[in-house]
C-alpha cells in the first residue's frame, strides 16, 4: 500500500475535496454530539464544550490546510481520535467516530489514487497535443 499522501498539483483534486468535505461535516457532527453530551453529562459541561470546541476548530483548520502538503492529511487522521473518544460521553459517537475515521482514511487514499490517475491521463493528453501539427487539416 502506497502511504505517500503528497497531493497532486491540481487545485481542486479529488483527494482534497473529499478530505475537506469530510472534515467540515465531521466538525458539525462534533457540535451536535456536544449538544447531546451537554444534556447527558451535566457535571462535565466544561470538559464537553472545551473538548468539542477544540476538536471542531482543529477539524476546520485542518480542512483549510490541506493544500500545504501531506502533513495536514496525517493530522486529519490523528484528529479522528478525539472524535471517536467523544464516545466516552455520547455512546453513539463510538460508532459514528469510527465510521467517519474509516470514511476519511478511505477518502484520502482513494482520492490520492484518483488524482494520480487523472494526472497520468492529463500528461498523456498534453503529450499527444504537443505532437499534433499546429494548424487544422482542411
- Per-residue pLDDT at 10: 72
Identify the pLDDT of residue 7: 74
The pTM of this model reads: 0.85
Q: What is the pLDDT of residue 116?
A: 87
Tell me, letter by letter, the H, E, C secondary structure of the chain.
CCCCCCCCCCCCCHHHHHHHHHHHHHHHHHHHHHHHHHHHCHHHHHHHHHHHHHHHHHHHHHHHCHHHCCHHHHHHHHCHHHHHHHHHCCCHHHHHHHHHHHHHHHHHHHHHHHHHHHHHHHHHHHHHHHHCCCCCCC
pLDDT in tens, the chain (138 residues): 566 777 767 778 899 999 999 999 999 999 999 999 999 888 888 988 998 999 999 999 999 999 888 899 999 999 999 999 999 989 999 999 999 999 999 999 999 889 888 988 888 998 888 887 765 555
Looking at residue 136, its pLDDT comes to 56
In this predicted structure, what is the pLDDT of residue 70?
87
In this prediction, residue 2 carries a pLDDT of 61
Q: Which three cell numbers stand for residue 14?
A: 479529488
Amino acid at each position: 500500500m502506497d502511504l505517500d499522501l503528497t497531493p497532486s498539483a491540481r487545485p481542486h483534486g479529488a483527494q482534497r475535496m473529499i478530505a475537506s468535505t469530510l472534515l467540515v461535516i465531521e466538525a458539525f457532527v462534533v457540535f451536535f454530539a456536544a449538544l447531546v453530551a451537554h444534556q447527558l453529562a451535566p457535571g462535565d459541561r466544561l470538559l464537553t464544550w472545551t473538548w468539542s470546541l477544540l476538536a471542531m476548530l482543529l477539524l476546520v483548520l485542518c480542512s483549510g490546510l490541506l493544500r500545504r502538503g501531506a502533513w495536514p492529511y496525517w493530522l486529519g487522521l490523528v484528529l479522528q481520535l478525539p472524535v471517536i473518544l467523544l464516545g466516552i460521553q455520547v455512546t453513539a459517537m463510538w460508532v459514528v467516530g469510527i465510521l467517519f475515521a474509516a470514511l476519511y482514511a478511505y477518502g484520502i487514499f482513494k482520492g490520492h489514487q484518483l488524482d494520480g490517475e487523472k494526472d497520468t491521463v492529463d500528461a498523456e493528453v498534453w503529450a499527444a497535443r504537443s505532437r499534433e501539427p499546429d494548424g487544422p487539416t482542411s
